[in-house]
Amino acid sequence: MSTLENINSPADLRALPIDRLPVVAQQLRDFLIENISRTGGHLASSLGTVELTLALHYSYDTPTDKIVWDVGHQAYPHKIITGRRERFPTIRQYGGISGFPRTSESPYDCFSVGHASTSISAALGLAIGRDLLGEKHSVIAVIGDGSMSGGLAFEGLNNLGSSSTNMTVVLNDNEMSISKNVGAMSRYFNRMITDKRYNKLKDYVWEFLGDRSTIGKGLRTLIKTVDDGLKHVVIPGKLFEDMGLRYFGPIDGHNTADMIEVFKSIRENSKGPVLVHVITKKGKGYRHAEDNSTKFHGVSKFTPETGAVIKPATPTAPSYSSVFGAAMVELGQTNEKIVAITAAMPDGTGLTGFMDAYPERFFDVGIAEGHAVTFAAGLAQKGLRPVVAIYSSFLQRAYDQIMQDVALDGLNVIFCVDRAGLVGDDGPTHHGNFDISYLNTVPGAVIMAPTNEKTLRDMLFTAVNYNGGPVFIRYPRGNASVDSGNRDFESIEIALPKLMKRGTQAALLALGDMYEDAERVRDLLSTRGISAALIDARFAKPLDADFYKKLFVKYPLIATFENNTLVGGFGSSIQNLSAQLVDSGGRPDILNFGLPDKFIPHGDVAKLKEEIGIKTEDMADKIATLIGRNDKR
């Protein structure tokens, strides 16, 4: 039995001698690689935090002491040593454990996360709450250097630095140039500044000089000036010191003994806010992940020996992201005003081709969605055509900027909203099931949703040539069905749906990727002798009043299909439009199929659809039942 197999809680870890921790670290890495190769998941980040996780749980009395993880991509080792080792093979699967920290899952997860830059603010709330309640435990926020680009992180730091509360921020840095300072001198410096006797002597001398004559106070000013000057040269964390946090580092984030020495000293001796800067390597200990950390950040099933991703045996259609990326390259060639913006996701959004082709017109602003949108607004004011590619669940972080900085002045900014609707394994923090609802409130917005490769290309072409304000194109994670029609870009008439198949008893009104579901529903209804028209809605906003009035008058039953919450979504808009355009006596029955008013768990998308009642067979049954009732009247 391995040492790891005997660790069912951090208390078991703390019972081990420190020199045993490198063995546990290796076993943790082997366990991670073995399991994630079977399930897929966020591997590289978690491999990089193995020693840091062990050091934190070894140094602090968790779960009494609170560790808040930022994003949660790097928290797999934390899950394994906090009693979830046996359930770890179920990670990100329906009914299994989440890929992110969730308070409902474990007392060791003290804050639910999934989006970046939140840990400092959340931990500060926990720390101030502790103080107000007279409690004594430690609070630690772990944040990666990428998440530090988010404005929320600096808002939290600013608030923390102006407080006197005891709280530690651990900056997990795997890219910044200051990593060169790791080594013997850094270890010596950290031992010096964490030494209890050194700090007592420094405090005594400081107070002694301050209490003395004018000469003493002058010496104190001189010492502080020299001290600050030296810190600018010696300490890469002078910024944090100036913000009011005591800085320790850089420290080798793969040396458990060094980190434990610092963490224990801080826990026992330090007062007020502290920042500990650790240097780690993404993918540490697995050569394939070290060589290609981007590929292994979020990876599907792979072969551990070679690192090769296990691909489906049959060829698949192109992803919506790749279709978008290729169209951007084509459009960028003929329209030099097109610029592309992403928030730390050039690969995920499909923009690497545009980045390579037009580097001067490509902008990765880091994890800073709000800034991305306002930056795009500035570009639009200069007459450029900014295309902002952001995942649906991340775009909601920039709602205020969309409303105030883009829509208020009717600026021509195009938003390509990737991962709209259910995304599967990453669960409620990453499902894009709210964007139609919150974008419906934006005055003057155009919201489109493609059904295949061709319509996405045409919608993008329409958007970059539109002069009426912000345009949003939402599309799901996954593959786009291929349209065999011509590859030329064609403009689409704003607001106008498209009748695809005729019918007499009902109209199936489908938006975006739910079109294929509606098509299967139509086929099932046909086997029961029910004739239904099939319509590609294309637009969630605006809605063509003439088209829909004719639809409402002609069909006694209309069913809407959307991959968005029903609250404030496309179906809701159709209901409202029907009430506006048709007298109550002549209105059709309207069935709305979509996502329920709740947070949806992680799991296979087909399984999730079945669970929430939008499996094609279930939807066909409901439509047939309602038609049967109407026929009996």
Q: Which of the residues are catalytic?
A: 282, 369, 397
Q: Contact at 8 Å (CB) between 270 and 193? A: no
User: How many DSSP H helices and E strands does the chain contain?
Assistant: 25, 17
- 139, two tokens: 């609070």
A 10 A CB-CB count for 356 gives: 11
- 443, two tokens: 């005055």
- Please name the helix (run of DSSP H) or strand (run of DSSP E) that holds residue 190, with its range, or none: helix 184-194
Instruction: List b or e across 394-420, with b for residues whose CB sees 16 or more CB atoms inside 10 angstroms.
Output: bbbbbbebbbebbbeeebbbbbbbbbb
- Give DSSP secondary structure letters for 557-618: EEEEEEEEESTTSHHHHHHHHHHHHS-GGGPPEEEEEEE-SS----S-HHHHHHHTT--HHH
Find where tokens 């996360």 sit.
113
Q: Residue 508 contacts by C-beta under 8 Å, 6 or more apart in sequence?
A: 518, 521, 522, 532, 533, 534, 535, 558, 559, 561
- Residues across the chain: 633
C-alpha span between 467 and 471 (Å, rounded): 10
- Give DSSP secondary structure letters for 283-334: TTT-HHHHHTTTTTTSB-SB-TTT--B---SS--PPBHHHHHHHHHHHHHHH
C-alpha span between 546 and 495 (Å, rounded): 10
Q: Is 416 helix (H, G, I), strand (E, B) or coil?
A: strand
For residue 498, the cross-strand partners are 536
Q: For residue 194, what are the CA distances in angstroms to 202, 204, 265, 268?
A: 12, 16, 6, 10
Q: Is 276 helix (H, G, I), strand (E, B) or coil?
A: strand
Q: In what order do the strands lie in the sheet with 557-565?
A: 498-501, 532-536, 506-510, 557-565, 589-595
Q: Residue 442 contacts by C-beta under 8 Å, 6 or more apart in sequence?
A: 402, 403, 407, 470
| Centroid of chain to Cα 434 | 14
Can you list the positions of beta strands (E) in 457-511?
A: 471-474, 498-501, 506-510
Looking at 418-555, list the stretches that DSSP marks H as alpha helix, in order from N- to C-terminal side.
Answer: 435-439, 453-464, 515-527, 545-554
C-alpha span between 172 and 146 (Å, rounded): 9
